[in-house]
Structure 1
Amino acid sequence: MGADQFPLELDSSAFALTGQGKVRGDEDFVFYNQPMLSGGGIQRSSDGRQFTIDFQSLPSAIEKIALTLTIHQGQRRGQSFSQLRQVTVELRDAQSKAGIATFPLATGGMAETALVVAELYRRNNEWKFRAVGQGFVGGLGPLASHFGVAIDDDPDVAEPPPPQPAARPIPSVRNQPVPQPTPVTCVTSRSIRKNHSGEKATRFAEEDWSRVR
């Protein structure tokens, strides 16, 4: 998977799904912290640009594979896929490297931060490819939840602000003695010299892809 310009930090993921469109468990979520499907069948490259799928090694319960992209901390950073012109998924034969299918998805008007780019699905014992282009607002959390994965440490959930210190009570002024004026000594204006020296100093300080996690 790729993009024609890359000012965003993208994460790629694959979800191995049953016929109900859900994972069997968290082990069916392939991403940067879990780059291989349990038992084999799906392998994510270290740069996140490629998934290698061995259909013969997939568990029989897996009938669909969703290929997705998310913008890391997109919500918190005010980013979305509208900042890219398009993303592209290309299907190749693992041995010959020959291209099988290419899907360019225009993203110029998309406000979402998570995207199901394409999916592979099994029908009549044959695996087929389908372009999707379904977006999710909220990043990885809503996307993973859609497929049945709960994200404990969602990078798009802002940390709660630190507790504010309690305000000090204002002392009551009732029944307080009135302070008496303090005598002062007056001097003539000739005996006082004022020095107004001082100055102010102000200092003025003055795409290729960004790496996929």
Structure 2
Amino acid sequence: MGIQLSKGQRIDLTKTNPGLTKAIIGLGWDTNKYSGGNDFDLDASAFLADVNSKCVNDHDFIFYNNLEHPSGAVIHTGDNRTGEGDGDDEQLVVDFTKIPSHVHRIGITVTIHDAELRQQNFGQVSNAFVRLVDESTNQELLRFDLGEDFSIETAVVFCELYRHGNDWKFNAVGSGFSGGLAALCRNYGLQV
């Protein structure tokens, strides 16, 4: 098992793991018992942002309708519409050797699809986590359990990977937004 992180904690990725070139970002969650009549569909996304924390164009936003960055640096392995079962519900694969030079941080987020229409929020989600696995060894290097700090939020930045000189670091963010995916897109400088 990897290192367990707390909210706000930062840790070296590529410096302390010199062989790390490809990482699997596994995201998981459960939904609380809820009788609203609708399934929960949580969606992972990645925002490849510049030094100002803004995406340069729409290609820098990886989600269920744009599964792969043109550089091959980030690949979304597919949308899980139910979150059923143990383990990762959705995964993103990050290839550190292919990240374009203009990208200084990668925001890893999860949103609830149609949250307002379905009257759903992260207060109804439990056991949310993000973990980072070295793809070459399948070893979990770190894990961040988000806890139960949310109520009305419909989008959460789980973590960020960010450039520090020639190396990459991991920041356990755990920051919630109201306004779902649209609010996150605006936060990262994209037009909605």
* Bin of the TM-score, shorter chain as denominator length: 0.7 to 0.9
Q: For 1:3, which of 29, 37, 43 is the aligned residue?
A: 29
The reply to whether residue 31 of structure 1 matches residue 63 of structure 2 is: yes
SS at match of 1:119: strand
Any gaps of 5 or more consecutive residues in structure 2? 1-26, 33-38, 81-89
Identity across matched positions, percent: 38
Query: Residues 78-93 of structure 1 correspond to what in structure 2 (within 5 A)?
Result: 78-93=119-134
Q: For 1:94, which of 120, 127, 135 is the aligned residue?
A: 135
Any gaps of 5 or more consecutive residues in structure 1? 152-213
Q: Which residue type is aligned with residue 76 of structure 2?
A: R
Q: Which residue type is aligned with residue 56 of structure 2?
A: R
Mapped to 2, the partners of 1:12 and 1:4 lie a distance apart of: 14
TM-score normalised to the size of structure 2?
Answer: 0.75
Say if 2:43 and 2:79, in contact at 8 Å, map to a contact too: no
Say if 2:31 and 2:124, in contact at 8 Å, map to a contact too: no
Say if 1:83 and 1:108, in contact at 8 Å, map to a contact too: no
Mapped to 1, the partners of 2:165 and 2:135 lie a distance apart of: 22
Q: Which protein is richer in strand relative to its size?
A: 2
Structure-2 residue corresponding to 1:47: 79
SS at match of 1:85: strand
SS at match of 2:100: coil
Query: Residues 181-200 of structure 1 correspond to what in structure 2 (within 5 A)?
Result: none
Mapped to 2, the partners of 1:109 and 1:149 lie a distance apart of: 25
Alpha-carbon shift at residue 108 of structure 1 (Å): 5.3
Which consecutive segments of 4 or more residues in structure 1 shift more than 6 A? none
The one-character-per-residue Cα deviations of 1:6-31 (angstroms, maximum 9, x if unpaired) are 75210110000111000011110000
Q: Which residue type is aligned with residue 43 of structure 2?
A: D
SS at match of 2:146: strand
Alpha-carbon shift at residue 69 of structure 1 (Å): 0.4
Return closer, same or farther for 1:51/1:109 CA change in 2, 3 Å cut-off.
closer
Mapped to 2, the partners of 1:37 and 1:12 lie a distance apart of: 14
Larger radius of gyration: 1
Structure-2 residue corresponding to 1:145: 186
How many pairs does the alignment contain? 151
